Each structure stands twice: as C-alpha cells, then as structure tokens.
C-alpha cells in the first residue's frame, strides 16, 4: 500500500459518542475481559477456525461467506436470545460481542444518520433527489435512513421524485436488497432501481439511461478491499460524476487490537487505513480538505468520511 503519511490535510476527525445513536460500547467489565481474551485470540492458529465454526451456526456462516453481504447481515442481526442452546448461545455471545462485530453495527447506525442528514441538507424543493449506493450489499443503511425520514413530519418529499440506485457486482446482493426494499411500503415518492455491475461502471449506466447524476453517493464496506490506487480512482470517478453540491459518504476500517484474529482465524482480510491516509486519497481525487469530515464510531474500529464536492 502506498505511503500517504508524508502530508496530512487539515481535516476534521472526531469520535461520535451521541447517546441518541444507541451505539454499542464496552462496560468496564467487558474491557477487562477483552484485556485478557483478545491477546489469546490473536495467537490462535488459522486452523482454529474449524473449532470456531463448530461452536455456532452463525459463526460458521460468517467464516464461510466472509466479506459478503450475507456475512455482514449476520453481524447486523445480533440477537443472543434467538439461540436456544445454552452452549451455542455462550459462544455466539463471545464471537459476536467482540469489538469488530460491534463496530460494524455501530458503523451502520452512523452511516444511516449521515445519509439521512445528507438528504435533509439538500435544497431540492423543485427537483429530483438522486441517491447512488455503490457496492450496496443489503442496502440496510439506505433503507434505515429512508424509514427514519418517513417519521419526520417537516421533511416533505411528496413533491420530490426521489431516485435511489443500488449497484453491486453480486447478483445475490442485488436480489437480497431488492427483497428487503420491496418489503416496505414506500408510496410513490421513491423510485428504486438495481444495477448488477462493478463500482466504476456507474457513470455509463446514468448516461445511457438519461438519469441525472447522483446528489448523494454512499459507498461503505468496499474500500476495505481496494488498494490505494483503486481507491483514488473510484474517488476521482465519483467526484467527476456527482452533482456540484453532491455528498459522498464512505468508510474504511482502522487498525485495531483484534486484527490478527480477524485476519488469520476468521479469514477476513482487509486493508486498514488511518483517517489521514484516507483523506489524502480523497484530496488526490479532487475533494477539498476543508470539505472532508471524518467520524469514528465509539470503538474506533471503523470511521466514516463525509465529503462535499
């Protein structure tokens, strides 16, 4: 990975501890437990994943489908009470109550809020609002944001024609998100469409279909697997093909104490970055440092970047 530490742009980096978000945090007892258990997990050999897979059905699915929308959805839907077998419930609690799974759920809450905020911040009383979700996966954050907006009385979208485009290279992810979205009753003010293609392909689909370029681009869970060159390239493509007052909401995983366990035992390999490195790639693509805001979720495993064009 290219070293981007030479120059650090003056960007806003904060940790969000908004109690209203109901983030998952660690109690003093949990911190003490982690102090002892995480070093042990980090020295386990890769073949220990066989043991982990046998302790819980969901753990087995996560390891088997690591990096997919299916694995992420399992992490999102953490409910210990659903496990009837006490032994399995115990191990389910261990694996899914580590910092990384909790941080993924925190990231979902943070992204949901930022998408909602971006929609509310657009001045589109007499025109359409176009949202693009790149590597949309299950589309959970977009769906949750729109459902949240439905409860805000003063935000009247009835006169707006809101278009949401979900793009993912996985047909299974597209099918899953379509099922999720179509399970809600949205009325006639939202128009949803799905594209099964790669991330960088989105401009051609908009041009060829006569769609307006996106006002909001959400891209979360993809760049953890992209090299610096790939990240910079997709940022440039987004910058060149979004509205003049457009907003990009994206994210990356940061280095953390559970990284060896996640990489070696779970088999979930990612590219870890600092907010400064991430912001550097954004500025190389055209975004101005003063227009970039980076927010950590409370456990500081994931951070979300919000950049205005």
Give the pLDDT score at 152.
53
Could you give all domains of the chain from N- to C-terminal order, each with its CATH number? 1-309 (3.40.50.150)
Average pLDDT over residues 61-90: 94
For 253, phi then psi, to 5°, come to -85, 145
| Distance separating alpha carbons of residues 228 and 280, to the nearest angstrom | 10
Lowest mean pLDDT among 54-68, 182-196, 225-239: 182-196
Residue labelled with tokens 């496990």:
83
pLDDT tens profile 265-297: 999 999 999 999 999 999 999 999 999 999 999
| The model's pTM | 0.93
| Distance separating alpha carbons of residues 269 and 47, to the nearest angstrom | 15
pLDDT tens profile 2-59: 554 455 557 899 999 999 999 999 999 999 999 999 999 999 999 999 999 999 999 9
Residue labelled with tokens 């970039």:
292
| Distance separating alpha carbons of residues 112 and 209, to the nearest angstrom | 28
Contact status, residue 222 vs residue 138, Cβ threshold 8 Å: no
The token pair that represents 28 in the structure block: 């003093």
Give the pLDDT score at 4.
47
């Amino acid at each position: 990975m290219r070293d981007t530490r030479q120059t650090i742009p003056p960007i806003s980096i904060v940790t969000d501890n908004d109690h209203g978000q109901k983030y998952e945090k660690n109690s003093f007892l949990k911190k003490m437990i982690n102090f002892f258990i995480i070093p042990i997990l980090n020295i386990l050999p890769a073949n220990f994943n066989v043991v982990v897979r046998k302790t819980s059905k969901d753990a087995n699915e996560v390891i088997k489908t690591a990096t997919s929308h299916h694995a992420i959805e399992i992490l999102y839907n953490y409910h210990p009470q659903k496990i009837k077998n006490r032994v399995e419930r115990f191990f389910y609690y261990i694996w899914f109550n580590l910092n990384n799974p909790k941080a993924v759920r925190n990231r979902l809450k943070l992204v949901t809020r930022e998408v909602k905020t971006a929609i509310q911040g657009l001045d589109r009383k007499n025109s359409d609002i176009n949202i693009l979700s790149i590597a949309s996966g299950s589309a959970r954050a977009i769906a949750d944001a729109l459902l949240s907006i439905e409860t805000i009385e003063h935000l009247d979208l009835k006169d707006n024609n809101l278009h949401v485009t979900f793009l993912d290279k996985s047909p299974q992810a597209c099918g899953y998100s379509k099922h999720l979205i179509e399970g809600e009753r949205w009325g006639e003010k939202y128009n949803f469409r799905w594209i099964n293609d790669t991330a960088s392909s989105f401009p051609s689909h908009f041009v060829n279909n006569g769609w307006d370029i996106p006002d909001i681009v959400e891209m979360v869970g993809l760049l953890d697997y992209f090299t610096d060159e790939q990240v910079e390239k997709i940022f440039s493509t987004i910058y060149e093909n979004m509205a003049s007052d457009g907003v990009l909401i994206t994210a990356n995983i940061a280095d953390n104490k559970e990284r060896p366990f996640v990489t070696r035992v779970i088999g979930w390999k990612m590219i870890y970055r600092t907010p400064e490195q991430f912001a550097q790639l954004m500025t190389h693509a055209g975004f101005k440092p003063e227009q970039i805001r980076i927010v950590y979720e409370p456990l500081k495993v994931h951070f979300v970047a919000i950049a205005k064009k």
